[in-house]
Every structure is written in C-alpha cells, then in structure tokens.
Copies of this chain bind each other. A is one copy, B any other.
Amino acid sequence: MNGAQAIIHTLEGAGVDVCFANPGTSEMQLVAAIGESDKMKPVLALFEGVVTGAADGYARIADKPAATLLHLGPGMANGLANTHNAKRARSASVNLIGDHALSHKNADAPLASDIETGARPFHTWVRSIQSIDTAGSDAAAAVLASQSNVPGPVALIVPADVAWTEGASPGKPLAVPARLKAAQAGIERIAVQLRDAGERGALLLGGRATTRRGIEAAGRIREAIGTRIISDTFAIKTARGAGQVGIEKLPYFAEQATEALANVSPLVTVETKPPVAFFAYPGKPGRFAAPGAPVLSLALPEEDGLAALEALAEAVGGPREAVKRNALSLPDAPRAGKLDVMAMVTSVARHLPEDAIVIDESITASIFFQGVLAGARPYDHCDLMGGAIGYGLPAATGAAIAGRGRKVVCLEGDGSALYTIQALWTQARENLDVVTVMVSNRTYAILNIEMARVGAQNPGPKALSMLRIDEPTLDIAQIARGMGVESARAETAEAFEDLFAAAMKRKGPFLIEAVL
C-alpha cells in the first residue's frame, strides 16, 4: 500500500466518505487511491473555492467532515476564502493539499511555495507529512483534529513521494472525545441571575446552540423565567419555521444591534463570544452589549452549549418541553407587479418544503427575510459565517450532497455569486437538488450603504462606479445554462411566484434570476 492509499483508507475508516476535489499532478496518486475505493465518493469542482465551500456546507448538514483535494500552495490559496468561512462556521473538514516530493523540495520549482505558513491563518490545525511511516497516523490525527472541541478545517500536506511510495499502513481511527462540559456551578449562578433579571435577561446563541436541540432548551428557559432568546447575527444552522421555538436575531448594523441589546442585563453567551461589530466605523460602537451590563458565559465556544442550556433549563425549573412555537403561517401570493425582495421572500415562504435547507448569502436582502420565513414549514437556515462572499453556491452544493434528498434553496446575491459561480457546474454534474434564487440587484448593494458609514461622504461617480456591476449587465441565467444548469429569469412577482412554486416540485438543479 502506498502513502496515498494509506491516507484514503484511514479517512474511510474514520467515516469520511466524500471528497470534494480539484486535483493536479501532485495529487494523482490520491486520485488513483480514491478511484480504487468503493467507499469514498469524489465530487469534482472546477475551482477550489467551490471545493472548500462545499465542505463547509457538507459539514453543517452531515455533522461530520468531508475531505478535500487541493493542488499545492496556489490550489490551497484559491480555497482559503471559503476555508476561512468554514473555520468561522466550525465546520470540520480535512483539506488534503498535495506538495512537491520531499526529494524535490529544495529545487524551488515554479509551483513551490511555503504551504504550511500560508495554511496556518485559515486552518485550525496544519501538518505536513514528513515520512511514509506516519502517512496513516497523520491522516488519523487530521480527522480527529478537525473534530476537536472547536471543529474546523485542518490542512494535511501530502508530498508527492509520500503518496507514491509503497510500505505505508492505514492509521487507526481516533475516538473523538466528548465535548468539554461547562461547570455546573457557573450554570447555577447564571440561573439565579437570569431568574432575577426576568425579561431583561437574554441568551445569545452561537455555535450549535441555534440547532433544534439548543433552541428547545432555550424555549424552556424563556417559558420559565422570561429570558429573551437571541441568535448571533450569523448562525451556523438555525432550526426555523413552523413548530420551532421562535428566536430573535441580532441585527447586523451597529445602531440596531446596540438598540436590540440596550435593555439586556445580563447577556448570557452560549458557544459564542460577546457580540462585536462586523466592521468598525468612525464614532460608532464596536461592542454591542449595553454599557455596564454583565456579560456572562454559559458555555464557551469550546464547551457543550447544548448540555449547558439543558442544565440551565432544569436549574430554572423550565417545563419538560417548550410550548410556545412558531405557528404555520404561509403568506398569500404576493401582489402582481415588479419583483422586490418582499415579494420574493413571500413566495419562498409559501412554497419552501418541509425539512428544506436554506443557504443564505443574500446579504442586504436577508435583512428582510427573518420575519417572513418564521411561519414557513420547518427548515434549517445556514448563514455565511466568515464574511468572505462566494460561500453560497458552493455550500449549497455540499449541503445537497450531505442532505441526501433534502431540498436545498440557495438565496444568493449576484455580486457574491460571481466569486464561485463554477459551483453550478458541480450541481449539474452531480444532479443535485438545489434551487438557486439569484437576487440580482446588479450592484454591491451593501457597499453603497457602507460607503457613507465609514465616513466617505458624497462619493463621486468614479468612486460609485467601483461598486456597480451593471455595466455590462451580467446575464446570470445564461451563465448558468453555460454551466449545465437550467435557469429562468423573473422580473415580476407573479413570474417569480410561478417559477419558484414549480421549482419546489421538481428535482435537480435550477436557477431563478430574480431581477430586482
């Protein structure tokens, strides 16, 4: 068995059975090893940002890591923006990065670069295999590291001669230890403080705390003592829609976020940190908790917030289960006429099927979604976690592979989509059940807002031209067809309503360009 075979066998033994890949020459032995395997499913992408973004979406839905295959330093670099997002999403993945043969390292060949250094800022763990003897055990260590207390993407650098040399053996799968428990004494102290605070107290949920189990426990706490339940502005996976416990979401803009927390005391964080501004602005607050209000940690990001929430629910004498839940409230069809964000989200809310997965990278548009989708059929909502745009189409691709039949709806901005538009080809290749709603406003809309907010007043036409993507107009429906994905364009509310309703009833990839 050569090193590549040992690595692939080790991953399979640890339950990793999907590999998102964009390989090159230095990865050919890994490609061959995957080719021989009857367990590992390879998913080819045309660009590495698709690879790493798909691994993010996959991990959020499958709750386990995928592998990826990347070509030396530049291949890794192309995947780093979505690796950054995956790290912020605590999405476990094992990035296998090919490197030059150890025997060729000092040749400084054209593709050579310092992969380890480049990998470090964006991965939670980095290792370069130094010998065929450790190829298997290094792979086992990588899988374990990806699922540590704070999961994330790890980099395992595989020199070509490690991959091709015979004499390797698979690494023994390493058991993932139970998550760290938050101290019971701390939970009890927080119970007392939250009980005293009543409706002034709030839980701020991050990490896995916004999944169904987390918000169920939070709902019990609220029903016992009135505590507000707020999720981070961006959440990894939130159980939403009818039958779920309803929660607030912290607004994006500093003014609104500080307003939302103005009367909160104490603020109790669960698997997250005290909330900060996405960007700093001149003269605006960078931290959102009310001045002087205690900010207490129920569970740090590395601790088990689900268990801590359940222990807190017991400590405050919460009911056995939450009673107050979102009612099913499907809106009427939107009024006919020019399409706008509200009409679009109304149609989405009406027709989203039960147990769907929504991948949301609609940026400015998403500000309007939150209320309308609360009454939809129950579904999982996944936000962009690291702010690096170009996450949506790839993450939807990976989520569809993990979802095994669950409908995936990707709410995507046109500006963001163009970073990783190649994901559509993989959706077509794998015939994935992904419907992309392309919110096409033909501008970096958020930047038009941010320009003034950073203090640049009255920008002229030359500056504003750098924020507009309407010259020439992108025909995204046509680009999608060029990549093998059927598509249509909607410019009216009634056209979108019909297209989206029909898309929910069919299978396979489809893109609707929603021109606003």
Contact = CB atoms under 8 A, between A and B. Distances in A.
A464 B476 CA distance: 31
A175 interface: no
Contacts of A461: 35
Taking each of A44, A49, A277, A388, which has the highest tally of chain B beta carbons within 10 Å of its own beta carbon? A388
A386 B481 CA distance: 32
Contacts of A31: 451, 456, 459, 463, 466-467
A320 interface: no
Given A460-B36, A472-B429, A21 B109 contact: no
Nearest to A120: B117
Nearest to A115: B121
Interface in A439-492: 446-447, 450-451, 453-456, 459-467, 469, 471-479, 481-484
A114 B478 CA distance: 38
Contact of A34 (B34, B110, B466, B476): B466
Question: Which of A25, A273, A282: most chain B Cβ within 10 A?
Answer: A25
Q: How large is the interface on A (under 10, 10 to 19, 20 to 34, 35 or more residues)?
A: 35 or more
A119 to B, nearest CB: 9
A110 B74 CA distance: 24
Interface stretch (A100-108, A133-141, A223-231, A395-403): A100-108
Interface stretch (A75-83, A238-246, A260-268, A333-341): A75-83
A78 B419 contact: yes
Interface of A: 21, 23-26, 28-29, 31-32, 34-36, 42, 44, 46-47, 49, 73-75, 77-78, 80-81, 84-85, 88, 100-101, 103-104, 107-111, 113-115, 117-118, 120-122, 160-161, 164, 234, 273, 276-280, 282, 286-287, 385-388, 390, 415, 418-419, 421-422, 425, 428-429, 446-447, 450-451, 453-456, 459-467, 469, 471-479, 481-484
